[in-house]
Amino acid sequence: MYRSPADTDHSGDVNASVGAAALAHDQIIDAPGVPRFSWRIMRDQLSGHFATLDLTPDLGCDIGSKRWLRGFGTFLGLGAVALAFWPNFAPLEAASAAHLDDAVRDEYRAQMIMPLALGADSGRRMGATALVAPLAAAPERPTLEMVVTLAKGDSLERMLRRAGVGRDDSQRVTEMVGAAIPLDQLEPGTTFDITLGRRTAAGAPRPLQSLDFRARFDLELGIGRFDDGGDLALTKKVIRVDETPLRIRGTVGSSLYRSARAAGAPASAVQSYLKTLGQYVNLDRDVRSGDTFDFIVAHRRAATGERQAGQLLYAGLERDSAPRVQLMRWGEEGEFYEASGVGEQRGGLMAPVPGRISSRFGMRRHPILGYRRMHAGLDFKARHGTPIVAVTDGRVTGAGRMGGCGNAVRLRHDGGIDTRYCHMSRIAVNRGQSVRRGQVIGYVGSTGLSTGPHLHYEMYRGGRAIDPASVQYVTRAQLSGAELKRFKDALARIKTVAPGAALAELEQTATEVAAEEPEREIDKLAAPRKG
């Protein structure tokens, strides 16, 4: 503060008073107890306070503390602000459509500028003006071209009739196609290119002008009238087909299926390969990264560019620490055999009928006789007429009426095993006949001591009844002699197929190239005339 000379001690001299009044400017201070307001000081204080205040702490830490509650309050506040500014999606009011009277509509229609939503027909006919004269009848198109598809369960003649072909033409086409190929070979989904000509009279069906379709993979058929008013004629075009098998070979990565698909194999071929290979090796344990997969599928490629993959022919797997797997399809039944001639392993016994077991092997109270006795088999619940199949390969040793068993069939199998199938409604095999695994031998019924349609299935070993559920059969075929030699020769030939050779484009012959070249007009003029 500033002190005047009057505030000094009177005992002092004049020089002292003068010296007290000559204080420096930086020695002047505010009087205590008298605050002075400043916006700058308040701003600095608030900035420092908010800088030390943590408004957004981690809500996953210190749950329930003051710091956590402060952060939760910040979250609720920001959420409230966001909801307060939430946009409104109410529909916007559009301008009402202009009123159009009949005069304006007629003018629009005459000038063909009316919108389609208001009933315009621009491009189809002129507006109803004085310059437009109505026709007595609209002329028909000279020809109609369409593509029709043969549906499942449909016939060729019915399909043609629905497409507008007359009765006479449809019957004639059916006869001509049937003479070329069996009609049952026409697969559902086959497309037909049909062209119908001009009507000969009002109300009469349009005559068939041409019909073209792919009858088989290697055959195209065409039916048409080559002369105006002439009869229908059939033309055949045999398509050259190469049947070189498709061989796919590669290295197994993280997944055998993905590696085979990445190599370009069709999904159906890969599934067949895995199913066949899985009968000989454990795909999860025995197949590792770095192994080599190798399989061959039947494949056809047409000269027109179409391709068709068939069934699996060969399945192979090469491993470093295990023997090589080589399997090839062989025989009329298409079973796979190893390179040594050993056939594929067949799993355990098949269920004789599809259905649940209603009564198991063991002692029980008989439903008809009323006392406890041994139930020497398994009862399968099934509907009347359900096919019954042989559980494995065998020979029929009995077929006919067998007491309380009703109509029954008895089979003899390898290993001294016999099976019997009881209560049949109808028997489908004869005594002495050989049957294969899965072959139908009869049908479910309720003959003999039976309370309803079901199959009573028994199994005997050495003439003694055993529980059928406790037996598992494993059968394997073995080639020998001349059959084994033919098999090994075929295996050697199929392994000579180069991987990916069937994927190359089929080269055209000179005849096919000449057929694709257009005929020049000069050649037509220079062609020699007949007669």
Nearest to 157 by CA among 181, 180, 182, 183: 183
For 271-325, give the DSSP string: HHHHHHHTTTS-TTTT--TT-EEEEEEEEEEETTS-EEEEEEEEEEEE-SSSPPE
Specify the DSSP class assigned to residue 436: -
Q: What is the pLDDT of residue 2?
A: 41
Q: Answer for the pair 440, 434: CB distance below 8 angstroms, yes or no.
A: no
Q: What is the pLDDT of residue 520?
A: 67
Nearest to 505 by CA among 321, 258, 302: 302
Q: What is the pLDDT of residue 126?
A: 53
Query: Whose structure tokens read 């994927």?
Result: 503
Which structural domain, as residue segments, surrounds residue 368? 357-470
Domain count, the chain: 4
Residue 512 lies in a domain: no
Residue 12 lies in a domain: no
Same domain, yes or no: 195 and 300: no
In angstroms, the Cα distances linking 178 to 156, 184, 189, 235 are: 10, 9, 18, 13
The pair of three-digit structure tokens given for residue 512, joined into one six-digit string: 């096919």
Q: What angle do CA 420, 424, 429 make, to 5 degrees?
A: 70
Q: What angle do CA 350, 388, 454 make, to 5 degrees?
A: 105
pLDDT tens, position by position, 26-50: 444 444 554 566 788 888 777 777 6
Alpha-carbon distance 91 to 95, whole Å? Answer: 13
Same domain, yes or no: 464 and 406: yes
Q: What is the pLDDT of residue 8?
A: 43
Same domain, yes or no: 198 and 230: yes
Out of 58, 75, 92, pick the residue that ends a domain.
Answer: 75
Backbone angles phi, psi at 510, to 5 degrees: -65, -35
Same domain, yes or no: 264 and 224: no
Same domain, yes or no: 453 and 374: yes
The pair of three-digit structure tokens given for residue 510, joined into one six-digit string: 């000179």
pLDDT tens, position by position, 193-209: 999 988 888 788 888 99
Alpha-carbon distance 3 to 395, whole Å? Answer: 138
Same domain, yes or no: 367 and 461: yes
Same domain, yes or no: 272 and 232: no
Alpha-carbon distance 121 to 118, whole Å? Answer: 9
Same domain, yes or no: 412 and 338: no
Backbone angles phi, psi at 8, to 5 degrees: -85, 165
Same domain, yes or no: 330 and 399: no
Residue 250 lies in a domain: yes
Pairing label, strands 417-427, 454-461: antiparallel
Alpha-carbon distance 490 to 160, whole Å? Answer: 46
In angstroms, the Cα distances linking 17 to 21, 499, 502 are: 6, 120, 123
Evaluate the CA torsion angle 163, 168, 171, 176 in order and state its sign: negative
Residue at 525: amino acid letter: L
Residue 522 lies in a domain: no
Distance of CA 200 to the CA centre of its chain: 48
Residue 517 lies in a domain: no
Beta-carbon contacts of 173 under 8 Å, excluding residues fewer than 6 positions away, are 156, 157, 160, 165, 208, 211, 223, 232
Q: Which helix (H) or strand (E) holds 51?
A: helix 39-52
What averages of pLDDT result for each successive group of 10 residues across the chain (531 residues)?
A: 44 42 45 62 76 74 83 87 80 72 74 63 57 72 90 90 90 92 90 90 86 90 81 88 89 90 86 86 85 90 84 90 86 84 65 81 65 77 89 90 91 87 93 88 90 89 84 69 90 89 74 66 59 45
Residue at 439: amino acid letter: Q
Q: What is the pLDDT of residue 512?
A: 63
The pair of three-digit structure tokens given for residue 94, joined into one six-digit string: 């559009």
Residue 124 lies in a domain: no
Q: How many angstroms separate the most distant Cα atoms in the chain? A: 165
Q: Which helix (H) or strand (E) holds 513?
A: helix 510-516
Same domain, yes or no: 303 and 380: no
Alpha-carbon distance 411 to 394, whole Å? Answer: 6
Q: What is the pLDDT of residue 10?
A: 44
Out of 239, 269, 302, pick the residue that ends a domain.
Answer: 239
Q: Answer for the pair 336, 276: CB distance below 8 angstroms, yes or no.
A: yes
Same domain, yes or no: 251 and 309: yes
Specify the DSSP class assigned to residue 24: -
The pair of three-digit structure tokens given for residue 333, joined into one six-digit string: 């039944």
Alpha-carbon distance 432 to 414, whole Å? Answer: 15
Residue 17 lies in a domain: no
Q: Answer for the pair 172, 232: CB distance below 8 angstroms, yes or no.
A: yes
Residue 89 lies in a domain: no
Alpha-carbon distance 374 to 360, whole Å? Answer: 11
List, in sequence order, every residue forming a beta bridge with 249; answer none if it has no partner.
294
Query: Whose structure tokens read 């049957």?
Result: 435
What's the CATH number where 283 sits?
Answer: 3.10.450.350
Same domain, yes or no: 423 and 282: no
